[in-house]
Amino acid sequence: MNSRAPSSLAALTLGAIGVVYGDIGTSVLYAVKEIFGSGHVPFTHDNVYGVLSIIFWTLTTIVSLKYVVLVLRADNAGEGGLIAMLALAANAVKDKPALRRALLVIGIFGTSLFYGDGVITPAISVLSAVEGLTVISPALHRYVIPLTLLVLFVLFAVQKRGTGGIGRYFGPITLVWFLVLAVLGVSHIAHHPEILGALSPHHALRFLWLQPGTTFIILGAVVLAVTGAEALYADLGHFGKKPIRVAWFSVVMPSLTLNYFGQGALLLADPSAVSNPFFRMAPTWALLPLVVLATMATVIASQALISGAFSVTKQAIQLGYLPRLNLRHTSVRDTGQIYIPFVNWALFTAIVLAVVMFKSSSNLAAAYGIAVTLDMLITTVLTFFVIRYGWKYPLWLCVAATGVFFLIDLAFFSSNLLKLFQGGWFPLVIGGAVFTLMMTWKQGRRLMSKAQQAEALELGGFLDAVFVEPPVRVPGVAVFLTAEPGIVPNALLHNLKHNKVLHEQNLFVTVRSHQVPWIGLADRLEVEPLGHDCWAVTLHYGFKNDIDLPIALEPLRLRGCEIEPMTTSYFLSRDVVTPTLGSGMAPWREKLFATMHHNAAAAAGFLNLPANAVIELGSKVEI
């Protein structure tokens, strides 16, 4: 993913503008409004300069230095995102089991918080754009929430069709959005060019020195200016480092800076514009087109986050932290374009709940921040372990490189904790619920595997015993799926017991997912002959690979095993989990795991098996 033809740089940069920066590009709609609208900052000339300086240096420190310069370097085989970072950190400390387990829990918790962010971001972005109607006429206020819900419903309803058709327009539309941001900003800076003096960090430092308490409080609103910073890293695999960096420094940051400073210039000229400084920047004739463009920009920003939720869910499933879910590919060319109905409508339901509960972007701003700043903090912590133990940099350099960012992230997180009871609890509840599901599923699978192994028979010895007096051999290939290599699958036991036959050729297949994004075809297949035309097969996948069992088994033809669609049968064990009293999980978690296991999508679809060649045989497992 890292080597790209120079000719594609412009196209990739345009794509990065549309996908990577949609979220951070819409923060201009509400960031300044919330800082001054909070009532904590007295409206003075010096305070406007101080706040603008804080916003600019927050963008510079967190986005430019932390993410664009440092974190983008931590690519996992060209991939980014919290799960990729978690895999890097866990691999870096693999010789320290206790630390590795702790990092895994921290990383999975951060991944869970992503879903909380995934609810708040579309809600606040689309709602703040539609609220521009109230600047045109206060009488339109009654239509804001219904229109917001309609836009969101259409957005989620079209997900099943994929974004390939409209995705090509994301970059150009978002580029137009950033150009409009710059033009709006310049038009007001031209009347008050002295506002550019706020670029000097001494204004931010002076504000901090004179008003430390106020500075701490408003950090909870300042963080709105860097919403979407995590997307920089998460989308690394789609675009690569260079296009993301070029897009940020050439288009996105200049446009954001000009717009924020334009809003500051407007506030100096007209303090009453604080009610909605972004839309008040526009002339009256441009308000309606600007509302439409802002809504399109927020829809694109939300689309990137929804697609990210699908991708993260797929990765979590393959790493064993979530049960199988129905997953559909929406593009024959781009395997990364997927649609997960359950995630789609669960997100929509939670977003509708957020819009109806909080009713305005200002109220949603109170709910925003805790989840995203905690994710930023977790990214910084994981980065330390990657550069210290993975890259082997000196301790002092690792502390220096991440320590400053850790303190900054901690300050932002601490400030946002003040909003806990004003709405900050909402994304935390969502993240906590997802984390509970993930850890319950992971531990439940571990308990289930332990219970199955306790009663399992050793495969090699079992086959030797069977072939002392071999059963009837029928033509074709039988593929038995087994969670653990080297043990007898329940499906084989039931087949011998009830059908009293064995196929001419038998494969005992275990699918392994690893904490790397991609595993190539050359390393996909591992085969061990068991004699009697039987083989133990292990298939290796990265957490971003698409699993297709029949295609993965095709190289076995070279070993004399003909995987023909008409003569191959796939035997799966459909386990029924029964919670029991004992030393496993708490009873409610065992019941939760049993419910999740019962409702998991069929393994046949997840493994891409032909429906007319699958045979499921049931068994009961007590945990």
Q: If you write DSSP's letter for every residue of 287-344 in order, what string do you get?
A: HHHHHHHHHHHHHHHHHHHHHHHHHHHHHHHHTTSS-----EE--SS-TT-EE-HHHH
Percent of the chain whose pLDDT exceeds 90: 47
Domain carrying residue 140? 6-423
d(CA 563, CA 551): 9
Residue 485 belongs to a domain? yes
DSSP classification of residue 75? -
Helix axis angle, 82-92 relative to 97-130, nearest 10°?
Answer: 170
Residue 428 belongs to a domain? no
* CATH number (domain holding residue 170): 1.20.1740.10
Residue 438 belongs to a domain? no
d(CA 231, CA 62): 13
Six token digits for residue 566: 């008409």
In this structure, the answer to whether residues 123 and 249 fall within a common structural domain is yes
In this structure, the answer to whether residues 546 and 418 fall within a common structural domain is no
Q: Residue 331: which pLDDT band, with cuts at 50, 70 and 90?
A: low
Q: Residue 202: which pLDDT band, with cuts at 50, 70 and 90?
A: very high
Q: Residue 491: which pLDDT band, with cuts at 50, 70 and 90?
A: confident
**Interior CA angle at 485 toward 595 and 450, to 5°?**
45
C-alpha 70: how far from chain center:
20
Residue 444 belongs to a domain? no
With 0-12 CB in 10 A as exposed, 13-18 as middle and 19+ as buried, what is 130?
buried
- Other beta carbons less than 10 A from residue 580's beta carbon: 11
Q: Which helix (H) or strand (E) holds 55?
A: helix 45-58
pLDDT digits over 396-430, tens only? 999 998 999 999 999 999 999 998 888 889 999 99
Name the phi and psi angles at 483, rounded to 5.
Answer: -70, -35
Q: Cβ distance 54 to 222 under 8 Å? A: yes
Which CA distances in Å does 236 have to 3, 120, 175? Answer: 13, 23, 19
What is the arithmetic mean of pLDDT over 75-104?
88
In this structure, the answer to whether residues 64 and 118 fall within a common structural domain is yes
Among 423, 448, 480, the domain-final residue is 423
Residue 337 belongs to a domain? yes
d(CA 520, CA 511): 15
Which CA distances in Å does 144 have to 151, 291, 350, 359, 364? Answer: 11, 12, 18, 9, 14
Q: Which amino acid is located at 308 in the chain? A: G
C-alpha 504: how far from chain center:
45
Of 185 and 491, the one with more pLDDT: 185
What is the arithmetic mean of pLDDT over 367-383?
90
Q: Residue 77: which pLDDT band, with cuts at 50, 70 and 90?
A: confident
Residue 452 belongs to a domain? no
pLDDT reported for residue 7 = 43
pLDDT reported for residue 163 = 63
**Interior CA angle at 18 toward 361 and 343, to 5°?**
65
Mean per-residue pLDDT of the chain: 88
Which pairing describes strands 338-339 and 328-329: parallel, antiparallel, or unpaired? antiparallel
Is the backbone of residue 284 left (phi > 0), alpha (psi -120 to 50) or beta? alpha
In this structure, the answer to whether residues 65 and 209 fall within a common structural domain is yes
Q: Residue 4: which pLDDT band, with cuts at 50, 70 and 90?
A: very low
In this structure, the answer to whether residues 304 and 196 fall within a common structural domain is yes
What is the arithmetic mean of pLDDT over 310-319?
87
pLDDT reported for residue 28 = 93
Q: Residue 79: which pLDDT band, with cuts at 50, 70 and 90?
A: confident
Residue 113 belongs to a domain? yes
d(CA 6, CA 12): 10
- Other beta carbons less than 10 A from residue 339's beta carbon: 20
In this structure, the answer to whether residues 475 and 417 fall within a common structural domain is no
Q: Cβ distance 306 to 231 under 8 Å? A: no
Among 362, 397, 423, the domain-final residue is 423
Is the pTM for the entire model greater than 0.85?
yes
CB proximity list for 363: less than 8 A, separation 6 or greater: 423
Q: Which amino acid is located at 152 in the chain? A: L
Q: Residue 231: which pLDDT band, with cuts at 50, 70 and 90?
A: confident
Among 399, 423, 447, the domain-final residue is 423
In this structure, the answer to whether residues 101 and 200 fall within a common structural domain is yes
Residues in a beta bridge with 574: 618
In this structure, the answer to whether residues 249 and 324 fall within a common structural domain is yes
Name the phi and psi angles at 38, rounded to 5.
Answer: -70, -20
Q: Which helix (H) or strand (E) holds 479?
A: strand 472-481
Question: Residue 335: is its pLDDT beyond 70?
Answer: no
pLDDT reported for residue 291 = 94
Which pairing describes strands 472-481 and 328-329: parallel, antiparallel, or unpaired? unpaired
In this structure, the answer to whether residues 245 and 320 fall within a common structural domain is yes
pLDDT reported for residue 506 = 92
CB proximity list for 136: less than 8 A, separation 6 or greater: 287, 288, 291
Question: Residue 278: is its pLDDT beyond 70?
Answer: yes
Residue with tokens 């393994």: 603
Helix axis angle, 170-189 relative to 9-19, nearest 10°?
Answer: 70
Q: Residue 498: which pLDDT band, with cuts at 50, 70 and 90?
A: confident
Q: Which helix (H) or strand (E) holds 552?
A: helix 549-553
Q: Cβ distance 423 to 358 under 8 Å? A: yes
Residue 326 belongs to a domain? yes
Q: Nearest Cα to 114, choosing from 408, 336, 443, 435?
A: 435
In this structure, the answer to whether residues 30 and 138 fall within a common structural domain is yes
pLDDT reported for residue 437 = 96
Q: Which of 50-59, 157-166, 239-248, 531-540 shows the lowest per-residue confidence on average (mean pLDDT)?
A: 157-166
In this structure, the answer to whether residues 264 and 202 fall within a common structural domain is yes
* Long-range interactions of 524-528: CB distance < 8 A, separation 24+: 524/552, 525/552, 525/553, 525/555, 525/556, 527/556, 527/559
- Other beta carbons less than 10 A from residue 466's beta carbon: 16
What is the arithmetic mean of pLDDT over 520-531?
89
Determine the longest span between alpha carbons in the chain, in angstroms.
95
d(CA 24, CA 226): 6
Question: Residue 258: is its pLDDT beyond 50?
Answer: yes
Q: Which helix (H) or strand (E) holds 413?
A: helix 395-417
Residue with tokens 């509960």: 357
Question: Residue 344: is its pLDDT beyond 50?
Answer: yes
Q: Which helix (H) or strand (E) holds 525?
A: strand 525-531
In this structure, the answer to whether residues 332 and 478 fall within a common structural domain is no
d(CA 539, CA 521): 10
Number of domains making up the chain:
2
Q: Cβ distance 542 to 516 under 8 Å? A: yes
Q: Residue 608: which pLDDT band, with cuts at 50, 70 and 90?
A: confident
Q: Nearest Cα to 230, choosing from 435, 62, 16?
A: 62
Question: Residue 6: is its pLDDT beyond 70?
Answer: no
